[in-house]
Structure 1
């Protein structure tokens, strides 16, 4: 595993944010050149790579996905492989996910499949929710229609090597709304001569807050979090004429998310009209709920048991967003978790680092899933 550890350290040192993963992609291509797949397609959906391992006979196909991008977070670790880029670091473990998929590539090269096709997708721009859509809409990806698609995520707070599975929603649907309100600036002594957005912003916040249902065990789970508010300037003689407010929405149901999006947009628009404000509403960083296929989850169960791995069946979805959810909208598939240690720092924390101990666990489980599908 030393080769893969060195690869991860290199990837950890050169993190790149969503859409800018050029150097990371080059490092992956260089590794794949040592264990050549049957076919490699680069620049998919931006900086993405699809490596295909094909058997001599026709058979089923399976896709495994990892992520290329890092986060705009300053790393506080002091180890030798710390990020060399100020304000950017691998705090979600995507460097480890890439090393797992590279290890699977090496295993498939050394132990060629006899039939079917295994596709390894190194996907760009997962963190901003744009990568999966860019890959799926890319003409270079259109030909590949896998029977199943799988992805994993390391999960701090769970025992090392434990496999965490769940049928139906594994991660939540997430979307973010930006509400811009344009009124009229006036003298602060004569606010009646202007149109100040303060009351409208207050009403929007109160209405959105009334829609929150934080218990994920109940049907209408919905978390709405205020993210950003801006209004006016630090000019105390001026009544503001412009303001904006941003929220992030979370639900464990794609259908319920669509209903909430419609309701909240209509409400914000109506409140703006009532206050004689012009409104401009847009959405950003949208993630589909990752709806796991029951058969795909069962394949993970069987593969985990065959690999003698500790299996944990989770009752409720994880509340973070993951754009693999869009891939499971197009193909039967499942995302599962691998425990990253109960004492590990949380994901997106500035001191997080992927635990190399679980790299081989991920490789072995992906390979066993391949056998369960290809050899069936």
Structure 2
């Protein structure tokens, strides 16, 4: 039989998570979410609470009396510009904004960890609970690391998790080396010259260049997930001219996202694409711009950090899944694992759970205790 106090704790965290879900905020605008986190953290008696980290980020620091490693656990605060289709009582109160990646659940897991640390104060070492802003646009991790208030924090290890639909609830998904790929987006503009639609020869229409670029850039992808050179190139937006049937277009815009297993591979691909754009634009007598935006570093999972995750899962008798290839989505926790030893792991959120970023997704509260217990067990293992 489950202890009554355990049920009460799960209910408490569930209610907190649903409150965050009701009032979601987009990247760089998480002021209300951050305040809700701070209000909860104050009840947990951390040594220090740092606010306005890299924007609206929050860090709670718990210190033991004896020296030991510094361990950082990170969750995210931001939501997405997605209209929620769910009609339950805790549905988003803000039209067009909703938590469709589970960041409300990830933040709740860290609050659960803070509540355990209140009841079980550290004897040694230092634990930092980081609630990071602006993960979805790729700006948050970098902004936190560049913030002067973070400079004094020197983690020996950093850890994070991400809920993953299509896996059994509570399963721990482990991956060595790259956990998520390096990701970037690119915006291309092409500028020619207007003319009468009856006399396109008197202008420079970017239509043929647009077609040529789509074919040439997408041909660079390697769709074999088992290859080291695997890459996903997705066309996300394209436009040409205007809906004026008397004018031959002079302007086109084209956007892609690119994902590669490693940063080196992505950099090589970026150089090839830049050369393609230059040559095709020149061929068609077009002026062009190329902007690389929304960049995410790959998560490089440290072997020792992965071993702590594995041992934590084993000691709790959780279902362990060792993934042979990285996930394909981007995650800016990679900015941390590029600088510090650390690792991210997956937390199964159910085979019937809608996919991340879907309008009917909702973080399953049943998996919150698994996340809390994993993080707390890692602490116990590292300070044993």
TM-score by length of 1: 0.99
1:23 aligned partner = 32
- The question of 1:265 aligning with 2:286 is answered no
Query: C-alpha separation between the residues in 1 aligned to 2:195 and 2:382?
Result: 68
Q: 2:191 aligns with which of 182, 185, 189?
A: 182
1:47 aligned partner = 56
Q: Counterpart of 1:330 in 2: which secondary structure?
A: coil
Q: What are the equivalent positions in structure 2 for 1:67-82 lying under 5 Å apart?
A: 67-82=76-91
Residue by residue, what CA displacement relative to the aligned partner does 1:298-346 show, whole Å, maximum 9, x if unpaired?
A: 1100111111111110001100000001110010110001110111111
- The question of 1:191 aligning with 2:187 is answered no
1:144 aligned partner = 153
Q: Counterpart of 1:347 in 2: which secondary structure?
A: coil
8 Å CA contact retained: 1:291, 1:328: yes
Residue by residue, what CA displacement relative to the aligned partner does 1:107-145 show, whole Å, maximum 9, x if unpaired?
A: 111101111100000000001111101001111101111
8 Å CA contact retained: 1:61, 1:374: no
1:314 aligned partner = 323
Q: 1:104 aligns with which of 98, 102, 113?
A: 113
Q: What are the equivalent positions in structure 2 for 1:235-250 lying under 5 Å apart?
A: 235-250=244-259
- The question of 1:326 aligning with 2:335 is answered yes
1:300 aligned partner = 309
Report the CA distance between 1:271 and its aligned residue.
1.0
Report the CA distance between 1:33 and its aligned residue.
1.1
2:366 aligned partner = 357
1:157 aligned partner = 166
Query: C-alpha separation between the residues in 1 aligned to 2:84 and 2:260?
Result: 30
- The question of 1:8 aligning with 2:17 is answered yes
2:298 aligned partner = 289
Query: C-alpha separation between the residues in 2 aligned to 1:140 and 1:367?
Result: 25
Query: C-alpha separation between the residues in 1 aligned to 2:351 and 2:201?
Result: 58
Query: C-alpha separation between the residues in 1 aligned to 2:170 and 2:134?
Result: 26
8 Å CA contact retained: 1:176, 1:284: yes
Report the CA distance between 1:269 and its aligned residue.
1.6
Report the CA distance between 1:99 and its aligned residue.
0.6
8 Å CA contact retained: 1:197, 1:277: yes
Report the CA distance between 1:374 and its aligned residue.
2.3
- The question of 1:37 aligning with 2:55 is answered no
- The question of 1:201 aligning with 2:210 is answered yes
Report the CA distance between 1:94 and its aligned residue.
0.6
Q: 2:97 aligns with which of 67, 70, 88?
A: 88
8 Å CA contact retained: 1:221, 1:252: yes
8 Å CA contact retained: 1:48, 1:122: yes
Report the CA distance between 1:283 and its aligned residue.
1.1
Q: Counterpart of 2:204 in 1: which secondary structure?
A: coil
Q: Counterpart of 2:317 in 1: which secondary structure?
A: coil
Aligned residue-pair number: 375
Residue by residue, what CA displacement relative to the aligned partner does 1:246-295 show, whole Å, maximum 9, x if unpaired?
A: 01101111110111111111211221112111111101111111111111
| Deviating 4+ runs (over 4 angstroms) | none
- The question of 1:233 aligning with 2:245 is answered no
Query: C-alpha separation between the residues in 1 aligned to 2:18 and 2:127?
Result: 26
Query: C-alpha separation between the residues in 1 aligned to 2:267 and 2:30?
Result: 31
Q: Counterpart of 1:140 in 2: which secondary structure?
A: helix
